[in-house]
Amino acid sequence: MGREQIIGGKLISAVKLKKLYLDFFIRNQHKEIVNASLVPENDPTALFTSAGMHPLVPYLLGQLHPSGRRLVNVQKCLRTSDIDEVGDSFHLSFFEMLGNWSLGDYFKEKSIPWSYEFLTGKEWLGIDKDRLSVTVFAGDDRVPRDNESARIWEELGIPKERIFYLPKKDNWWGPVGNTGPCGPDTEMFYDTGKEPCGSGCKPGCSCGKYNEIWNNVFMEYNLKADGEYEPLQQKNVDTGMGVERTIAVLQGKDNVYDTEIFAPLIQKIKEFTVLDLLSKSQIRSLRVICDHTRAATFILAEGIVPLNVERGYVLRRLIRGAIRHGRMLGIEKEFLSELSKVAIATYSEDYPKLKQSEEFIISELVKEYNKFSNTLARGLNRFNKIAIEKKTIDAKDAFLLYQSFGFPIEMTRELGRENAIAVDVNGFYEELEKHHQVSKLGADKRFGSGLADTTEATVRLHTVTHLLNEALRRILGNDIYQKGSNITQERLRFDFNFNRKLTNDELIKVEGLVNEQIKNALPVNRIETTLDEAIKMGSQAVFEQMYSEKVSVYSIGDFSKELCSGPHVENTSQLGRFKIVKEEGISAGVRRIRAILE
């Protein structure tokens, strides 16, 4: 390991990295903002917060942030797109992301030099600049090459031969939806010292010679509905540095699981096995269990329970995947609860909600283990029988494994890969859709919470959720609070705590109270204040979440007052007639209302 990986004679730990990062940007006039929920408030295209920018979407679109234009934080993230890759050296489903943002303040001229200073400065990470390479956007027929970023890197001392121009698939950050802010990025790579895999080996290659450690996105364009790009008036910087990946690189490890981050989990897993030297497949199982249990622990802390739809489906998939890989290591008893306790102890200082939710987390893990372990062996036997007889898993077989044995399709697909057996995944979804049509279950795994977009219809429905929230409190009691929401142009979906089905009379009263406020043409006003003052004012909030020192409070006349990031209409007279179309239970103690504006 090179001297550049040591600060003050000590190896850089994850705790030290996070502190250094925050200290650096706070010194450069950034305000630390709170770590947002794993459930994204403003991006229903994702089930979970997969990047630090998700909670900041309204501010990237131009709304003023209460904490200013320069922000920094450590954000917990979960990416469902990476679950299939978990078990290799660097992919994780749950991870922590370091990020800093400029909301219409500085741009490339400060962002890139700051990145370079933090990476190479002796006071900070002290990485040898000769081991750094960077990539920039190569340009295409609609957007020019990012020569400015390349020039800045060269002026900082990165030679031309270590500045690589890559296409849009590598160095471009698209909009949150089909339109909106987007732009090129520049990515920083650390040379591990491995021999190149060939003459074309360069950053972005998957051989392991170059590891990406930082990504700066420059949101300088707006993608219009006609597919054209126009320059943005407010240009933003959105950066991301994965804690686990960076620590592995700085400590000279060839995978994230050999760092202190995972050591307690790995030690606990080994207490459940009699294995000494692990095979390649067993090492993968060990890593999958570490990742999946840690991720499941954080998801459960959000109050999500294992289900066959939406976030609950992802949670169930993670838990059941960990159970299966436990069996592959010879673990025959319930072990997830003990691993989860290790994860909670490791992270509860930074995330106190884990400790507060420990009883619930452990209870749900044990219940899901007992539910699945009873059918796992029989399901594996059925898979093997089908594979031997047919040499393939067709759609009906895959659906049988799902319906009768609780195998998520991703698990069946993974079993297929392990045994070189083809699995008809597309056919499975067709079978699943037929089942939903017959049973009228209508499960859709794609929706998350928050606003689908900022169109007029969606903004109207977002505003009326404030009226709905307050109406529920007045009709059902002051202990009602929001558990989640999902808003599109067509309808709103609002989740709240309540332990029984609402009566028809209660639904009529709620609907009537909301429409009364719409008829009263109440003004909608926004102020910025401190969290303490907002609470003293009687503002409603999702108090399971963390908030910044300064917050936005939206008041609707004298009827409703809530902490919210917007956007909203200016007056309730713009809303139309509110109508509840469905009320149902979605989990223990949680109800869901679906409603429209006519």
Tokens for 403, please give them: 């319906």
With a cut of 60, say whether residue 450 has pLDDT above it. no
| Placement of tokens 């679109």 in the chain | 61
Residue 451: band (very low, low, confident or very high) from pLDDT cuts 50, 70, 90: low
Q: Can you tell me the mean pLDDT for 331-347?
A: 96
pLDDT for 543 equals 45
With a cut of 90, say whether residue 9 has pLDDT above it. no
Cα-Cα-Cα-Cα dihedral sign, residues 38, 41, 44, 45: negative
- Cα(181)–Cα(220) distance, integer angstroms: 7
163 bridge partner residues = 134
Mean pLDDT, the chain, rounded, equals: 88
Residue 280 CB: number of other CB atoms within 10 A?
6
Residue 418's Cβ-count burial label (10 Å; 0-12, 13-18, 19+) is: exposed
What percentage of the chain exceeds 90 in pLDDT?
60
Residue-wise pLDDT for 288-326, tens only, equals: 999 999 999 999 999 888 988 888 999 999 999 999 999
Cα-Cα-Cα-Cα dihedral sign, residues 340, 240, 410, 330: negative
- 3-class DSSP state of 452: coil
Residue-wise pLDDT for 522-573, tens only, equals: 999 988 888 778 878 888 876 445 556 677 889 999 999 988 876 889 999 9
Q: pTM for the complete prediction?
A: 0.73
- Cα(306)–Cα(146) distance, integer angstroms: 45
With a cut of 60, say whether residue 7 has pLDDT above it. no
**Residue among 280, 281, 319, 284 nearest 299 (CA):** 319
Query: What would the DSSP string read from start to end of 161-179?
Result: GGEEEE-TTTSEE--SSSS
**Residue among 190, 151, 187, 150 nearest 172 (CA):** 187
**Residue among 585, 390, 561, 374 nearest 470 (CA):** 561
With a cut of 70, say whether residue 447 has pLDDT above it. no
Residue-wise pLDDT for 25-58, tens only, equals: 999 999 999 888 898 765 555 688 888 887 887 7
Is 3.30.930.10 the CATH number for 3-258? yes
Strand order in the sheet with 590-597: 450-451, 482-487, 492-497, 590-597, 578-587
Query: What would the DSSP string read from start to end of 301-320?
Result: TTT----SSHHHHHHHHHHH
pLDDT for 550 equals 74
- 3-class DSSP state of 235: strand
Residue-wise pLDDT for 479-491, tens only, equals: 898 887 888 888 8
Residue 236: band (very low, low, confident or very high) from pLDDT cuts 50, 70, 90: very high
Higher pLDDT, 545 or 71: 71
pLDDT for 242 equals 94
Residue 1: band (very low, low, confident or very high) from pLDDT cuts 50, 70, 90: very low
Residue-wise pLDDT for 348-396, tens only, equals: 999 999 999 999 999 999 999 998 988 898 999 999 999 999 999 999 9
Residue-wise pLDDT for 138-192, tens only, equals: 999 989 999 999 999 999 999 999 999 999 999 998 876 677 788 999 999 999 8
State in Å, rounded, how far the first CA of the chain is from the last one.
Answer: 66
Is 1.10.8.620 the CATH number for 450-597? no
Calculate Rg over the CA atoms of the chain.
Answer: 25
Tokens for 13, please give them: 């730990």
pLDDT for 293 equals 98
| Range from 231-235, 441-445, 584-588 carrying the lowest mean pLDDT | 441-445
- Cα(239)–Cα(498) distance, integer angstroms: 40
pLDDT for 486 equals 83
Domain boundaries, the chain: 3-258, 263-439, 450-597
